[in-house]
Structure 1
Amino acid sequence: MANPHPNAHGRAGVYSNADQVAAAFDTRAARTLPETMAVVQHYAMLLETRVKANASGRPGPNAPTGDYRRSWTHEVFTAGVAVTAVVGTNKPQGRRLEYGFVGADSLGRVFNQQPYPHVGPAVEEIAPQFVAALGGVVGE
């Protein structure tokens, strides 16, 4: 089968404009990291907001003082070309509220606490939007 896009010499895979192609890749690469950082920052903030909303009463956990809800934060890190976001809480009850707890704690108190998922549902809601937004950065 003939290559539908041969170069000027009629041969596929041999280009005389390699410098132009390399320059185009360099230009796109220079834009990709900042655009990716912006998308990750935006969706980390959206995830934090959704978790906080889910942690504001049933079906999520009750938050009578707001202390637990306020403890949720997000940070974005870069290392080379990798961009990472961490959305979380420093409160020890976070895991117990999300997954529930059955058994004795470190003080010997026995609990049968049902889970109040608030993180998982937030991730499920935000993840498809995040993936689509990243696809937009890469696919441009």
Structure 2
Amino acid sequence: MIRKAKAVWRGTGRDGGGTVSTESGALTGTPYSFRTRFENEKGTNPEELIAAAHAGCFSMTMAFILQGAAYTPTELDVDAAVTIEPEGAGFRISRSALTLRAQVPNLDQATFARMVGDAEKNCPVSKVLNAAITVDATLIST
């Protein structure tokens, strides 16, 4: 399976800008620039897209792990916070912090903790990131 996206950039790094689009159409000509990445201009940036991918991937991986053990989650609410920091002459993504709030009927805390660890290790986005990954997971009683 191959998934595709496209970026088009015009101009210099600081003053230029671009758009990103995805094959599915979820993003179509979405703007990004220095200002959307390092300031607060409307648009997106690579770190935000990675955070969205990580949150989505982790929640789906967790859902499959739960399903495999005959649990059906009511809700898996995942936030991802990706950190970019200076490194040498450039930058690097150093961390992705996941926060999970899970509502899963009849699931005990020990089993939940084991499943969270499995999801973190087996999420394809976690596997591709060369960054520290943390997961703050809470099982909410239903």
TM surpasses 0.5: no
Higher RCO structure, 1 or 2 (CA under 8 Å, sep 6+): 1
Q: Based on CA coordinates, which of the two structures has the bigger radius of gyration?
A: 1
Higher helix share: 1
Which has the larger strand fraction?
Answer: 2
